Amino acid sequence: MATCDFITFLSRHDRIVEVCLTDVRGSSPREAGTMMYVAPGGIYGTIGGGQLEYMVIDHARAMLKRGDIKGDMDVPLGPEIGQCCGGRVQVSLKLMGAADRAVSQAGIETEDKALPHVYVMGAGHVGRALADLFQHMPVKCILIDQRAEELGLSGAKVETRLTPLPEADIANAPAGSAFIVLTHDHALDFLLSSAALERGDAAYVGLIGSKTKRAKFKNWCKTECDGLSIDTLICPIGAGGSRDKRPSVIAAQVVAEVITALTSEPAETSAPLGAIEPPEEGDPMVRQKTSRKDRV
């Protein structure tokens, strides 16, 4: 979606200044290499907001008025500009020509292709609420369901897939993807969650439900999946302490979990939320094997 937005931005503005943070020392709102594009009547991207961004926008628009081609800024992020980051940044500004536009567009397209994939398995109330939020995140969100009518209710700018075999989408997903399982069928939930865990390379696997459902799924994995571990499974999802069960609130908490998982340093070894096993509950465990004919 970012590529389309950027192409629209380029088409609407004849004169644009490309802004780049070329050097960052100490604390800064964004890292070196961050880009922003400034036109007389619009902006695409951000270098972190605050007074730094206001100053850079003003400088870029002054360049456009004067007809300057290039400019540089060296800005300390301290009390003198109303920021308390404490670092220092160097900024380059350049009036974009046709070649610059093509290079920048190609760069945005490359970034889009490298975005982590988030698979929302189920287009019910919570699934649609998740899609509404993920459309604004730096991810490629795919909303998947077997029901065309539910997919049709989503107005989010995300990819939608109507399929009778959602497990195939899990099998074909790129490494490092995130999977959120919240279908209309508990048996299908178990099948998809186990498929995501069996990959061994998912950044996040979450299953909607309760501690009881987690315990049932754990037992099912022992008997039907050769003892597949669910240590990395997040279930319940969005269990951040809130008792609010509204789909939009659950979705907000789940998005925070997923983005944290996708952007955390690989070296971090702390157990993910939900990975600590809850006590086994007294409800009968689900022991029957889930097959495709069981779900038809």
The mean pLDDT value for 184-209 works out to 97
CATH 3.40.50.720 domain position(s) in the chain: 116-289
pLDDT, tens digit (0-9, with 9 covering 90-100), for 122-145: 999 999 999 999 999 999 999 999
> The tokens of 216 are what?
């049932």
Residues 6+ apart with CB under 8 A from 89: 21, 23, 24, 25, 28, 52, 74, 75, 77
Give the distance, in angstroms, between the CA of residue 129 and the centroid of all CA atoms in the same chain.
14
244 has pLDDT over 60: yes
The mean pLDDT value for 234-262 works out to 92
Q: What's the pLDDT at 147?
A: 97
- Phi, psi at 117, each rounded to 5°: -90, 135
Q: What's the pLDDT at 78?
A: 77
pLDDT band at 194 (very low <50, low <70, confident <90, very high): very high
pLDDT, tens digit (0-9, with 9 covering 90-100), for 1-31: 577 789 999 999 999 999 999 999 988 889 9
Sign (positive or negative) of CA dihedral 154, 160, 164, 166: negative
Fold category of 116-289 in CATH: Rossmann fold (3.40.50)
Please provide the average confidence, as pLDDT, over all residues in the chain.
88
Q: What's the pLDDT at 83?
A: 67
Q: Is the peptide bond before 174 cis (omega within 30 degrees of 0)?
A: no
* Residue 126 burial class via C-beta count within 10 angstroms: exposed 0-12, middle 13-18, buried 19 and up: buried
Question: Are 178 and 119 a contacting pair, CB within 8 Å?
Answer: yes
pLDDT, tens digit (0-9, with 9 covering 90-100), for 80-100: 776 666 789 999 999 999 999
pLDDT band at 280 (very low <50, low <70, confident <90, very high): very low
Q: What's the pLDDT at 183?
A: 97
